[in-house]
Chains A and B, each alone.
Chain A
Amino acid sequence: MAQKKFVVGCFDNENVLFPAVKQVRTAGYKIKDVYTPFAVHGLDHALGMRETSLHTAGFIYGITGTTTAVSAISWIFTKDWPLNIGGKPHFALPAWVPIIFELTVLFAAVGMVLTFCYLCQLAPGVKKHHFHKRATDDLFVMVIECTDKTNTEDLKALLSANGAIETDVQVAEEGWWFGTYDKEDNLYNEKQLA
């Protein structure tokens, strides 16, 4: 996996974070992501992220579920094993609608959960780099990708000038990989608590 250099800026206030995001973007830096303890409304717009296509995927999964249900039930009840149920026609669409609906929902739900995990690079046994432990607690952590030409000192100064309480440079895997967390990498280890 490719190692990359990142500049990390930590903010303790979302009112400071938003102007800082704007400043960093106008300065021409590429923000990899901002890790926040909770969902911050409007941050995706501020970061200029494109709209997720998760719902399009959901629609496709749903349609797949509908098709599966309609073709399976109609084949079973008209071709494979026709049964006389209360004198109803073999092709009894109203009676199938609940099952068609349920299968649509099932396909869409399961499919979207798996897609979501894939997009967020989440899976059992997968390891990801933590830029700052307090991102899950009370810090807004902005991670900026560096290129060969990036002057990290300038960038750190820019972040500090825009209200970052802590800045540093980290070299990390940019994606995800299989493995376990290192022992000293545990959250809330003794060293950190002391």
Chain B
Amino acid sequence: MASIKEQFEIPGTLKTWSYALIGIGAAALLYGMFTKGFGSDEHEQVHFWGTLMYNSIFWTLVTNAAMFFLCFSTMAMAAWMQSFRRIAEAISTLVPIFSGITLLVLLYVVLSHNHHIYHWLDAEAVAKDPILKGKAGFLNPTFFIIWTTLTITLWSYFGYRMRQISLEADIAPMDADTAHKYNVRSMVRSGFFLVWFGLTVASTIPWLWLMSIDAHWYSTMYSWYTFASSFVAGMALIALWLIYMKNKGYMELSTSDHLHDVGKFMFAFSIFWTYLWFSQYMLIWYANIPEETIYFKNRVQGSYKPIFFLNLFINFLCPLLILMKRSAKRNFTLVAFMAVLILFGHWIDFYQMVMGSLMKEHVTLGWLDFGILAFFVGVMILMVARSLASKPLIAKYHPFLKESILHQV
């Protein structure tokens, strides 16, 4: 393995681009914050905080999906991803940063009692409302803050523990006994993360953070839908970084066979996302109960109609038709294009999930959305690159690495 480049050196252009994006994003963010967020117009306030909310939640869940990918692969004793596991690890180092931002935004929204975003924050309205009263045990500021803080702390902590055990594979070759113990310990650590992930991302967190914007409405599909959306975007992000690193001449051990499997995840979970999208939509459409259809009223028939169908086009039809062929999943250019498209598509999905409820009358997609997006993308690029540069690119004594090198699809 003498010829393998283990140390990533951050290219100057990457730094320039990420600083530029952060600069543009920060300018838009601060300008928006002072003209809208702290302005006197309540409508503008909702616009700003809603936009910041969906962006930070989206990027938190997407980066967390990278850790989820690592953990379930470890749990399944999957070997094929070992050759690029450091990319997923590097992406997951952003969880504490992005979830910290999310926590600040949510704390501000809850503590400033912005009941235009979370209707259940309005104590007077809740007292008069039997539905909200029934949900008050779950939807109240105290529980919201405690659960959110706990969730974010444990995501970060369990993720940190997973990254620490991965570093042990850099030190020295393992004999069979050590390797076995190492695998068992990795699996125990990933188990902690997975259980907590199930209790949060796959259930409570989307209810609390996103679904409670429509406090009267509920859907049992919602959390899975959010999970599928963020997971497929997370796989797209991993694919994008893998392709970038290959282009720069790193990650020699990862081949088009590895990309093929990442592409399969992107393809399969795009279909899975559509399945959940449709299950949620069709049941509500068929039952035709006003309490439930209200969620889709302004999305299907109102101003959000173009975004609603664009969402379906980008996130279902494009992956279905473009990624279906084997050769497409092995083509670096095509997978890179699809990864960008899927990331954008699910960002739009999160946009309509949040702003479709907050700004019912008109689509607000504009400089603020793209500015804040630029900020998050810039931070993501910079921090992932730094994290990649901070440790070897290959966990070279990992017991499964050889199997990963031989991986063939």
Contacts and interface: CB of A to CB of B under 8 A. Distances in A.
B278 A97 contact: yes
B288 A94 contact: no
Contact of B282 (A41, A86, A87, A97): A97
B324 A41 contact: no
B408 A95 contact: no
Given A55-B326, A86-B288, A94 B408 contact: no
B285 A94 contact: yes
Interface in A83-125: 86-88, 94-95, 97-98
B327 to A, nearest CB: 9
B326 A94 contact: no
Contacts of A87: 288
Given A86-B286, A97-B278, 4 more contacts: A87-B288, A94-B282, A95-B286, A98-B282
B281 interface: yes
Contacts of B278: 94, 97
Interface of A: 41-42, 51, 55, 59, 86-88, 94-95, 97-98
Nearest to B325: A55
A94 B324 contact: no
Give the interface size bracket for B toward A: under 10
Contacts of A97: 278, 282
A94 B274 CA distance: 13
Contacts of B288: 86-87
Interface string B242-283: 000000000000000000000000000000000000100110
B324 A42 contact: no
Interface string B163-190: 0000000000000000000000000000
19 contacts: A41-B408, A42-B408, A51-B326, A55-B326, A59-B324, A86-B286, A86-B288, A87-B288, A88-B286, A94-B278, A94-B281, A94-B282, A94-B285, A94-B286, A95-B282, A95-B286, A97-B278, A97-B282, A98-B282
Contacts of B282: 94-95, 97-98
A108 to B, nearest CB: 12
A42 B257 CA distance: 13
